[in-house]
């Protein structure tokens, strides 16, 4: 807890009005890869507490749409972000998302999801990979052909297989380790661009 409170990124997020330190991770990747384009439709999977949705909404300005999904409530709500509480791989929730999209394809799918950690590394890694697989499946089915997918993964069991699965879906797959990621963390971000 002390590490979190004293974290310079946490302090900076608080000072600048961002929902979480994760906001800086997305900003850095977007600065490099230009993912958030005016008029884009962005879907943020596992969006609570809202750091990535907040960045996407701000960078889109008055254009485009940001749709956030999470099992947990988004509290307080973010102005200009359409939020749906539920499990996006449940048929009923997926149907609601598709109704919100009105048949449109998505330009950018974001996933900064992580499971609630149990402290059992093998179990936590398996659950993390499962979430990333669900996000990849959503992206493969909802992105427009030139769309992009940014997902958090952890190096460990299943990581190589996951990258290979992404390479089957996207023409280009690169890794990103933003400065705001803790150095000792096995966290990485994978960016897939252009559906095959």
CB-based burial, 23-36: b 16+ in 10 Å, e otherwise? bbbbbbbbeeeebb
- With tokens 């990124």, the residue in question is 9
Q: Is 30 annotated as a binding residue?
A: no
CA–CA distance, 4 with 142 (Å, rounded to integer): 35
Q: Is 87 annotated as a binding residue?
A: yes
Q: Residue 152 region, left (φ>0) first, then alpha (ψ -120 to 50), else beta?
A: beta
* 77 alpha carbon, distance to own chain's centre: 18
Catalytic residue numbers, as ranges: 152
Q: Is 44 annotated as a binding residue?
A: no
Both tokens of 51, joined, read 């750091």
Q: Is 18 annotated as a binding residue?
A: no
CA–CA distance, 172 with 195 (Å, rounded to integer): 9
21 vs 9, 51, 53, 84, 116, CA distance in Å? 5, 7, 13, 23, 18
CA–CA distance, 135 with 190 (Å, rounded to integer): 12
* Residues annotated in a binding site: 50, 52, 70, 87, 112
* Residues annotated in a binding site for S-adenosyl-L-methionine: 50, 52, 70, 87, 112
């Amino acid at each position: 807890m002390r590490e979190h409170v004293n974290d310079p990124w946490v302090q900076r997020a608080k000072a600048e009005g961002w929902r979480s330190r994760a906001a800086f991770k997305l900003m850095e990747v977007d600065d490099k890869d230009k993912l958030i384009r005016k008029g884009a439709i962005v879907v943020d999977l596992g969006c609570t507490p809202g750091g990535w949705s907040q960045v996407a909404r701000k960078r889109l300005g008055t254009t485009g749409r940001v749709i956030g999904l999470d099992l947990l409530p988004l509290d307080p709500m973010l102005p200009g972000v359409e939020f749906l509480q539920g499990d996006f791989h449940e048929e009923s929730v997926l149907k609601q998302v598709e109704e919100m999209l009105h048949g449109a394809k998505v330009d950018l799918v974001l996933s900064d999801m992580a499971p609630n950690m149990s402290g059992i590394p093998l179990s936590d890694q398996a659950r993390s990979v499962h979430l990333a697989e669900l996000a990849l499946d959503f992206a493969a089915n909802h992105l427009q052909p030139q769309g992009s997918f940014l997902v958090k993964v952890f190096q460990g069991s299943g990581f190589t297989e996951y990258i290979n699965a992404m390479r089957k879906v996207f023409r280009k797959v690169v890794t990103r380790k933003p400065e705001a990621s803790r150095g000792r963390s096995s966290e990485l971000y994978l960016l897939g661009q252009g559906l095959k």
